[in-house]
Amino acid sequence: MVINSIKGKKILFFAPAFFNYEELIAKKMREMGACVDMYDVRSVTSAKDRALLKISPSIFRKKSLRYYDEIIQANKGKDYDYILIIKCDMTPISILERFKREYPNAKLCLYLYDSVENIPGVTKKFKYFDTLHSFDLNDCEKYPILKFRPLFFGDQFRKEKHTGDYEYDISFLGTIHSDRYAVIKQVQKIAEERRLKCYWFLYLQSKFIYKFYKLTKKEFKGVDENTFSFDKMSAAEISAVVDNTRIVLDIQHPKQTGLTMRTIEMIGMNKKLITTNESIKKYDFFYANNVVVVDRKNVEIPDDFFSSSYSKLPDDVYEKYSLKSWILEVLG
């Protein structure tokens, strides 16, 4: 079921801090007429603690209980219509049970923009939610309780097809993890051979992570730390670079089949895409003229992909991936 409006609704919203996307969601819900109280879904925010969280969320159980208790106390007596939780990696089951008691009229909604495999213990929490959506098609097939809903593009990525010359032929803007840098180096080599103009924004959360990768990843050998940025780009800055780019490079985590935010944003901006994600071929916006799928271990890009123009999508397909449509479907 997809609802038509959230005007006048009260929403308690929890999400991880992720390149300001949580703020975009909250802002859009308010623009749509909802009253929104937003909090970080995690009781810890440092890079070190987040690394420990991936190993065992139970490490921070007591801290999380105190954190959520303070939020519940601060919002005592509020009659929420929805409680929307993204990822739910640090929300204890006992807190989900309290939400049911404290806010009996609220619909609990879960959205996963990470694969189930990367969120320890999340399947045990499924039964506490009234609606459950995931960006990962494979997870939805494995867990039928999950409804498939891809990510969205924010309003700042809603752009008409670019006219005129581009400043860059290829750009990549994202966090370096897993084998991403190894794939990027292959694309950089192709770009150099073809004398293409490129923009690379390679983000690392800290210099500690750079040093760790330097010791553990062979593709980091001899790579100076100045290659990377330790400060995030704003959505507006990202949009400006992408708007001046002919083709955007997307590299999903090897354990994920769901499409990244960057992929969906390229729909909004009418951009061509190079991606490692084979599952993109299953989506209704996939046009071979707009998207080329590459082998992450052996990147090859057809020559004609650089010269052919973007094929515009039908309006209904385009609007399906907007933030407004995402909100109405996830809360529905």
Scanning the structure block, which residue is given the tokens 């969320």?
57
Residue 37 lies inside a defined structural domain of this protein: yes
Question: Residues 65, 94: contact at Cβ < 8 Å?
Answer: yes
Final residue before a domain boundary, out of 104, 120, 149? 149
**Residue 314 belongs to a domain with what CATH number?**
3.40.50
Q: In what order do the strands lie in the sheet with 245-250?
A: 198-203, 168-175, 245-250, 272-275, 291-293
Residue 161 has pLDDT above 90, yes or no: no
**Residue 54 belongs to a domain with what CATH number?**
3.40.50.2300
* Domain, as residue range, for 98: 10-149
pLDDT tens for 98-144 read 999 999 999 999 999 999 998 989 999 999 999 999 999 999 999 99
The CA distances from residue 48 to 23, 57, 293, in Å, are: 23, 13, 34
Residue 200 has pLDDT above 70, yes or no: yes
Residue 332 lies inside a defined structural domain of this protein: no
**136 and 231 belong to one structural domain:** no
**Average per-residue pLDDT in the chain?**
93
Beta strands in 226-285 (DSSP E): 245-250, 272-275
- CA-to-CA distance for 37 and 15, rounded, in angstroms? 11
Residue 328 lies inside a defined structural domain of this protein: no
- CA-to-CA distance for 20 and 233, rounded, in angstroms? 10
Question: Residues 167, 243: contact at Cβ < 8 Å?
Answer: no
- Bridge partners (DSSP) of residue 12 are 37, 83
Residue 2 lies inside a defined structural domain of this protein: no
**172 and 273 belong to one structural domain:** yes
**259 and 138 belong to one structural domain:** no
User: How large is the angle between the packed helices 21-31 and 323-331, nearest 10 degrees?
Assistant: 80
Nearest to 121 by CA among 191, 183, 59, 166: 59
**46 and 191 belong to one structural domain:** no
**259 and 282 belong to one structural domain:** yes
Final residue before a domain boundary, out of 119, 149, 179? 149
Question: Residues 313, 285: contact at Cβ < 8 Å?
Answer: yes
Scanning the structure block, which residue is given the tokens 């990768």?
213
Residue 5 lies inside a defined structural domain of this protein: no
Indicate the pTM of the whole model. Answer: 0.85
Structure tokens at 176: 């370096």
**52 and 128 belong to one structural domain:** yes
Residue 59 neighbours by CB under 8 Å, 6+ apart = 52, 53
Percent of the chain with pLDDT over 70: 97
The CA distances from residue 178 to 4, 70, 204, 218, in Å, are: 39, 36, 12, 12
Residue 326 lies inside a defined structural domain of this protein: no
pLDDT tens for 297-330 read 999 999 999 989 899 999 999 999 999 999 999 9
- CA-to-CA distance for 116 and 94, rounded, in angstroms? 20
**131 and 166 belong to one structural domain:** no
Final residue before a domain boundary, out of 103, 133, 149? 149
Number of structural domains found in the chain = 2
**DSSP conformational letter for 282:** G
pLDDT tens for 6-49 read 999 999 999 999 878 999 999 999 999 999 999 999 998 776 67
